[in-house]
Amino acid sequence: MGEADLIIFPSLPESYICRYQEQNLTMDEEYDVIVLGTGLKECIISGMMSCSKKKVLHMDRNKYYGGESASLTPLEDVFKHFGMPMPDKMDKYGRGRDWNVDLIPKFLMADGKLVKLLVDTGVTRYLEFKSVDGSYVMKTDKGKNKKIFKVPSNEKEALASSLMGLMEKRRFRNFLIAVSNFDENDPTTHKEIQPNMTCQDLYNKFGLDNNTADFAGHAFALYRNDIYKQQNCKDFIKRMQLYQTSIARYGKSPFLYPLYGLGELPQGFARLSAIYGGTYMLDKPGSEPVFEDGKVIGVKCGDEMARAKIVVCDPSYALDKCKKVGQVARAICILNHPIPNTSDAASCQIIIPQNAVNRNDGKCVTAGGTMRHSVTARGTMKQCVTAGGTMRHSVTARGTVRHSVTTRGTMRQCVTVGGTMRHSVTARGTMKQCVTAGGTMRHSVTARGTVRHSVTTRGTMRQCVTVGGTMRHSVTARGTMRHSVTTRGTMRHSVTAGGTMRQSVTARETMRHSVTAGGTMRHSVTAGGTMRHSVTTRGTKIYIYVSCISDTHNVTSKGFYLAIVSTLVETNNPEEELRPGLDLLGPIEQKFVSVSDLYEPLADGSVDNLYITKSYDETSHFETTCIDVLDVFKRAYGSEWDSKVVEHNTQQDEAGY
């Protein structure tokens, strides 16, 4: 390990360290704040509260620090934690105490929020970090082969990279320069960039293609989905600038990782809290918040009770006040070699976008062999093939049906131009021909007494009455169907809002219920072997994250590597969803797979004074973690975190506290 790679901060004064201890005190006392759980988030909040002159009691049901984000050592404890038998030849992994295995490994942005918190609170005084060797992204090349590309960390790497063509590199360079120079408060820097632009407008302004946009948004700005493209570009620009300033700090990549693993971080903040008067109690199983008249009044453990008007906890201490929002699958893998195609990097991050592994935007489960294939882009169905004589093929562009072919006497062909139906031919005596111009129905011919009356205004059907058991009544507003009633087992009722179908009920075992939000189907239940259940998430793309560390960070024995693959769970086979990441690793010596539930609080804590942190997400960095920490602190404390209080107390303590 070269000294240039090692980031060492000044050591903590001995007078500080000797005063840190777990006090053997009883709980029966009044506190300003009680914190339950010693995960990283809770330890940071505890330290911040103590520095802000709050009397803090910090408890944990476990005998060790870290909670869900603990670092396990020796290696034998890792096998026990995952309930796996230890191999016959454990000695091949070297000394067990050389291993520090993080249950939720994440990197720190060198100029990010967590590093700033570490510096603000002085915790950096007794931690050592080492920069990560590089960041990579998986992309599909012109030959449809999946390859790993290094995210350029300087201009030389950018020019040599095969991520983009020559002309695209020039456009991307101009884009980076403009983004780097942009200052929201300085209009002279708003040359190519207007503050009211969306991110997609910004990409279009510089002529960047979709591949470059994905690369910038997810490898640089670290967004977890594509919703940001339709949002204002200010946050995106700040994220891009953070990536650039983080790289500028230490050169090879924007990421840092602490020596001896992430377990040092919660312990560091725990020491900070104790230094400023915080009381710690571990091994307190059964600890739970106590309420009176709808407000928290303290924490009870057995026959003991500590009182406080504010309680902060992780979701596991108040599951009845949380909602499950998903699951994260993680695979911790022991390797005896670096990850292939990373230039033998001792540490790295790899981001695998959804479009590189063809993962669906949501989840679709069918029964009875109906829906066979569905691919969407920007939340719009691109192709759908079914069996049983229903819809055979449907292709849309910008949300408009371009071509549809069905059998069994239903719609045979439908072609539209500019979102208006131009020609439609059906069988069995229904609508024979319909031609419109300028979006208004001009001519309609039917057979067998179907359509009897049709009136349109400005291209919108206002009323339609038919006989023969077909459409009876339809009224629309602004081109959106508001109400429709039919007979003979067809559509019975349909109500939409904002152009999105909210509810649909039909007969004869067709669609029973459908609810959408934000224009995306959230839930659908049918009978008769058709679609049973379908859930999507706003057209979100699911990403896979791979992080790798080794003995250079003092977390493994010499010559070994720890690779961690994580992603959001979409199916009943989480390990298979990790497969694209696992396939990158090469031969795996040992694998530990876990699935964790993701929880978020149901309320913000303003009513009952119980402030609950969110579960750790699937990302390989701590930026989202710190956003949650700062938000919880602000709500619980009543104002933003002010680092000046730490600087003042530090000077006071060094003077003889």
- What string of H, E and C letters represents the secondary structure of 368-388? CCCEEEEEEECCEEEEEEECC
User: Token pair for residue 1?
Assistant: 């390990």
CB 529 within 8 A of CB 368: yes
Q: Is the pLDDT of residue 636 over 50?
A: yes
Question: What are the backbone dihedrals phi and psi of residue 540, each rounded to the nearest 5 degrees, phi first?
Answer: -70, 140
C-alpha span between 257 and 397 (Å, rounded): 45
- Give the lowest-confidence range in 244-253, 323-332, 496-505: 496-505
User: Token pair for residue 591?
Assistant: 């694998």
**CA-closest candidate to residue 497, choices 473, 511, 477, 474:** 477
- Give the lowest-confidence range in 6-15, 103-112, 303-312, 539-548: 6-15
Q: Is the pLDDT of residue 440 over 80?
A: no
Report whether the peptide linkage leading into residue 74 is cis, meaning its omega lies within 30 degrees of zero. yes
**CA-closest candidate to residue 374, choices 519, 529, 576, 521:** 521
Per DSSP, the three-state class of 220 is helix
Sign of CA dihedral 643, 645, 651, 656: negative
User: Token pair for residue 625?
Assistant: 């973690």
What's residue 26's pLDDT? 65
Q: Which element (helix H / strand E) includes 250?
A: helix 233-250
Per DSSP, the three-state class of 629 is helix
How many residues make up the chain in this entry? 657
pLDDT, tens only, 96-140: 999 999 999 899 999 999 999 999 898 988 799 999 999 999 887
What's residue 125's pLDDT? 85
Q: Is the pLDDT of residue 366 over 80?
A: no
What's residue 409's pLDDT? 38
Q: Longest Cα pair distance anywhere in the chain, in angstroms?
A: 99
Q: How many CA atoms lie within 13 A of 107 on its CB side?
A: 31
Q: Is the pLDDT of residue 79 over 90?
A: yes
Q: Which conformational region is residue 91 in: left (phi greater than 0), alpha (psi within -120 to 50 degrees), or beta?
A: alpha
C-alpha span between 178 and 29 (Å, rounded): 57
C-alpha span between 50 and 382 (Å, rounded): 55
C-alpha span between 273 and 54 (Å, rounded): 10
What's residue 358's pLDDT? 61
CB atoms within 10 A of CB 136: 26
With the CA atoms of 441, 444, 449 and 455 taken in that order, what torsion angle do they form, in degrees rounded to the nearest 10?
A: 30
CB 319 within 8 A of CB 41: no
**CA-closest candidate to residue 244, choices 107, 110, 108, 131:** 110
Look over the chain and give the mean of its residue pLDDT values, rounded to a whole number: 75
Beta bridge partners of 463: 455
Antiparallel, parallel or unpaired: β 304-313 and 451-457: unpaired
What's residue 191's pLDDT? 85
CB 519 within 8 A of CB 526: no
CB 462 within 8 A of CB 476: yes
For 48-78, letters b (16+ CB in 10 Å) and e give bbbbbebbbbbbbbeebbbbbbbbbbbbeeb
CB atoms within 10 A of CB 122: 23
For 325-338, letters b (16+ CB in 10 Å) and e give ebbbbbbbbbbeeb
Q: Is the pLDDT of residue 273 over 60?
A: yes
What's residue 533's pLDDT? 41
pLDDT confidence bin for 55, thresholds 50/70/90: very high
**CA-closest candidate to residue 113, choices 274, 270, 245, 253:** 245
pLDDT confidence bin for 252, thresholds 50/70/90: confident
* DSSP states along 98-123: G--EESS--BEETTSHHHHHHHHHTG
CB atoms within 10 A of CB 454: 16
For 370-402, letters b (16+ CB in 10 Å) and e give bbeebebeebeeeebebeeebbeebebeeeebe
* In the block, residue with structure tokens 């490994």: 105
| Residue 477: burial class (beta carbons within 10 Å; 0-12, 13-18, 19+) | exposed
Q: Is the pLDDT of residue 194 over 80?
A: yes
Beta bridge partners of 384: 374
C-alpha span between 381 and 395 (Å, rounded): 7
Q: Which element (helix H / strand E) includes 491?
A: strand 491-497
Sign of CA dihedral 169, 171, 177, 183: negative
**CA-closest candidate to residue 214, choices 206, 205, 225, 204:** 225
- Give the lowest-confidence range in 293-302, 417-426, 610-619: 417-426
Q: How far apart, in Å, are the Cα atoms of 268 and each of 65, 110, 272, 283, 464?
A: 10, 18, 6, 19, 71
Q: Is the pLDDT of residue 587 over 70?
A: yes
Output Rg (C-alpha) for the chain, integer angstroms: 29
SS3 content of the chain, % helix, strand, coil (to 5): 25, 35, 40
Sign of CA dihedral 385, 391, 393, 396: negative
Cβ contacts of 182 within 8 Å, gap of 6 or more = 189, 190, 193, 237, 241
Q: Is the pLDDT of residue 379 over 90?
A: no
Q: What is the pTM of this model?
A: 0.70
For the residues 610-614, what does the mean pLDDT come to?
98
C-alpha span between 562 and 588 (Å, rounded): 10
CB 138 within 8 A of CB 348: no
What's residue 25's pLDDT? 56
Q: Which element (helix H / strand E) includes 275?
A: helix 264-275
CB 361 within 8 A of CB 379: yes
